């Protein structure tokens, strides 16, 4: 028999989960990350399994989604739209697969349909005699909202099926979502209008789909992928007997399918697919939070049946959470090489995105204000792939009375110079310039980095030692260092001193593009430095270039042109540049080449996947030197795609568009043929 504490915990979990369900499904404004919801749901499931008599008839464990909102008319689904049970590791998936085999009384491998678990909004779309006649949200699984007018505005959903042989009544089910690029563009438009931005693509998709005015929905970059069928009646032609083949048939009738969907012949193959999609996750054009596995044979699905709210023949294998909840303990302010003041949140350590996170960026004062975050708050922190962790929201329900405001500094935390914020810029900057040792250190670290002068042995700690010991204050001072000066530093032996001096000497031979990049001019990255070098050919021409002349360079707009001109108008910067040249820094002259003679002139390419022989940025520079324009996404205008290992959706799209594919070996052979290896 349950004690009073258990009864109270079940009541508390039920209330919390019902509230979170309403926030997520009905209000499109979740206050906690999915991982916290899943954690509480599993706890309630375990308690109800131990004390089944305490499971309420309306327990959240028996529900699928939320109630239909009253702004739309309601639709009763002919077949319930159920949710999926989750597994969170290989052992739990193996248990699921074993249960499948046991229920079917077989030890033979089962074929599974595999598809990314899209992070959007589940919908049902009905075609009658091939015409779209109704669309509805999942709602609570039995009753949803009628969103027909809005769904008709989604560009990749056919209003009339293609081909022939479709059933008289065909219900298809799938996910409405917003692709990542569309989401970024949508938020940019929201900012321009002074309107609230969306926290993530899922919220944006749900909010867009529930607009009362379809004209607003039509302006949102919504997309749809089909993942199953519901009720099918009056079949003119028998549908295939497997899930995967049925999807292919839907595709032939014009319904969009997720290109990453496939089949797996065994549980090992399922695990391999899960790992593969996990590796591709950050490169996919849409957000996912796991993989869905379904028994492919529809007759076996029928034999396996359902539990209360989920099919026995399908499971959602979830990825490690990219969002977690933790406490904001403090905020430090770091100074960058251009004087930018960046607030860095110090967090109670939390495991998220595969690593333990204790710091996260807060970007700037505007972001602090937008979040409404305060010291002592419980916050949601997000880490996706190699992206720097960031705070995405505050859990207002967890805010203690002891929270205090975050005070942005008015003076530099390093040199005490005033902090200023330029009109129309979000970033506040230290005005100390080279007086500020933090800026000195960051500028020198950038100068010595792999993509700039690539000085082996000159890492962050060594730079900090050299600046703190007042042996250097700018990049030109590096070339005057001596072995005795280095040996005077802590943990610097003669051997390491000689090695560093030799590395500095070797770094004098560089390229004009790397020299420009190493100077650390604001907003001048590798590609822009490369374009500036090719256009101006020599240092004097670049130093004396006008704003108009600078804007003639590919990818250089007015803002970047102003930064370049301002850099070379500064006498302190000119002095450093002159001293670098006097110290022996040099590069080969850039030949004047007729662009028409370049082998890739006029061609557009895209690089995807991992290259083993060089970094993608290095390959990009070489391709540009051969005349190619290197774009970030595949389109009908792409001439060829360079595909490294683990190439994902860009490769699929290139194949669909008939774009020429180069593997790394073909690229290197082309470089060698044109003496660029």
Active site positions, annotated: 117
CA angle 317, 323, 324 (to 5 degrees): 110
How distant, in Å, are the alpha carbons of 226, 433, 438, 640, 661 from that of 655?
21, 50, 48, 10, 8
Give the count of beta carbons closer than 10 Å to the beta carbon of residue 657.
13
Instruction: Please answer whether residues 74 and 145 qualify as being in contact, where contact means their C-beta atoms are separated by less than 8 angstroms.
Output: yes
- 643 membership: H or E segment, kind and range: strand 640-643
* Cβ contacts of 597 within 8 Å, gap of 6 or more: none
Measured distance CA(455)–CA(444) in Å, rounded: 11
* Cβ contacts of 198 within 8 Å, gap of 6 or more: 183, 186, 187, 190, 204, 207
The alpha carbon of 416 is separated from its chain's Cα centroid by a whole number of angstroms, namely: 36
On the 0-12 / 13-18 / 19+ scale of CB atoms within 10 A, 225 is buried
Strands lying side by side in the sheet with 604-608: 629-631, 604-608, 640-643, 660-663
Helix, strand or coil for residue 67?
coil
Measured distance CA(131)–CA(675) in Å, rounded: 58
DSSP string of 527-562? HHHHHHHHHH-SHHHHHT--HHHHTTSTT--HHHHH
Measured distance CA(65)–CA(176) in Å, rounded: 16
Measured distance CA(323)–CA(351) in Å, rounded: 9
Task: State phi, psi for 593 to the nearest 5 degrees.
Answer: -115, 135
Measured distance CA(192)–CA(184) in Å, rounded: 12
Measured distance CA(605)–CA(638) in Å, rounded: 6
């Amino acid at each position: 028999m349950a004690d009073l504490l258990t009864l109270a915990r079940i009541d508390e979990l039920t209330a919390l989960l019902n509230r979170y369900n309403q926030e997520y499904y009905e209000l499109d404004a979740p206050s906690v990350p999915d991982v916290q919801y899943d954690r509480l749901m599993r706890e309630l499931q375990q308690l109800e399994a131990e004390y089944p008599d305490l499971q309420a008839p309306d327990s959240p464990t028996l529900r699928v989604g939320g109630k239909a909102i009253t702004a739309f008319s309601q639709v009763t689904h002919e077949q319930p739209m159920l949710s999926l049970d989750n597994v969170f590791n290989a052992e739990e998936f193996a248990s699921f697969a074993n249960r499948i085999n046991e229920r079917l009384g077989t030890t033979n491998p089962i074929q599974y349909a595999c598809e990314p678990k899209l992070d959007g909004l589940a919908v049902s779309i009905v075609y009658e005699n091939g015409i779209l006649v109704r669309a509805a949200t999942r709602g609570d699984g039995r009753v949803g909202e009628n969103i027909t007018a809005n769904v008709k505005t989604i560009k990749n959903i056919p209003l009339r099926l293609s081909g022939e042989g479709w059933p008289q009544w065909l219900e298809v089910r799938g996910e409405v979502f917003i692709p990542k690029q569309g989401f970024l563009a949508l938020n940019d438009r929201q900012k321009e209008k002074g309107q609230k931005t969306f926290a993530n693509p899922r919220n944006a998709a749900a909010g867009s789909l529930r607009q009362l005015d379809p004209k607003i929905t039509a302006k949102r970059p919504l997309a749809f992928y089909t993942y199953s069928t519901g009720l099918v009646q009056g079949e003119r032609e028998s549908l295939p007997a497997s899930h995967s083949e049925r999807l292919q048939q839907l595709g032939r009738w014009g319904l969009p399918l997720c290109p990453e969907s496939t089949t797996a012949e065994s549980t090992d193959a399922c695990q391999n697919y899960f790992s593969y999609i996990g590796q591709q996750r950050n490169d996919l054009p849409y957000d996912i939070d796991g993989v869905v596995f379904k028994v492919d044979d529809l007759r076996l699905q029928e034999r396996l049946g359902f539990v209360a709210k989920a099919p026995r023949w399908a499971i959602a294998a979830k990825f490690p959470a990219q969002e977690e909840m933790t406490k904001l303990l403090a905020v430090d302010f770091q100074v960058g090489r251009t004087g930018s003041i960046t607030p860095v949140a110090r967090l109670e350590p939390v495991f998220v995105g595969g690593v333990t996170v204790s710091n996260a960026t807060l970007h700037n004062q505007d972001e602090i204000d937008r979040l409404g975050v305060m010291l002592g708050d419980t916050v949601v922190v997000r880490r996706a792939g190699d992206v720097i962790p960031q705070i995405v929201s505050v859990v207002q329900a967890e805010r203690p009375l002891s929270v205090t405001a975050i005070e942005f500094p008015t003076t530099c935390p390093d040199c005490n110079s005033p902090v200023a914020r330029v009109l129309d810029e979000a970033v506040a900057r230290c005005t100390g310039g080279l007086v500020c040792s933090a800026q000195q250190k960051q500028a020198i670290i950038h100068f010595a980095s792999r993509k700039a002068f690539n000085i082996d042995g000159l890492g962050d700690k060594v730079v900090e030692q050299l600046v703190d010991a007042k042996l250097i204050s700018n990049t030109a001072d590096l070339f005057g260092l001596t072995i005795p000066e280095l040996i005077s530093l802590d943990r610097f032996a003669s051997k390491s001193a000689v090695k560093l001096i030799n590395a500095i000497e070797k770094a004098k031979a560089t390229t004009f593009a790397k020299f420009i990049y190493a100077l650390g001019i604001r907003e001048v990255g590798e590609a822009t430095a490369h374009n500036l070098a090719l256009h101006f050919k020599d240092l004097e021409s670049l130093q004396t270039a006008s704003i108009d002349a600078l804007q003639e360079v590919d990818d250089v707009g007015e803002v970047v042109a102003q930064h370049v001109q301002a850099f070379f108008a500064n006498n302190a910067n000119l002095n450093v540049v002159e001293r670098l040249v006097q110290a022996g820094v040099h590069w080969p002259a850039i030949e004047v080449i007729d662009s028409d003679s370049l082998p890739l002139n006029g061609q557009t390419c895209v690089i995807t996947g991992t290259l083993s022989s060089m970094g993608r940025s290095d390959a990009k520079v070489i391709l540009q030197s051969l005349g190619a324009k290197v774009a970030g996404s595949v389109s009908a205008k792409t001439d060829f795609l360079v595909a490294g290992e683990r190439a994902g959706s860009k490769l699929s799209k290139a194949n669909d568009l008939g774009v020429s594919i180069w593997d790394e070996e073909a690229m290197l052979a082309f470089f060698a043929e044109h003496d660029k290896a």
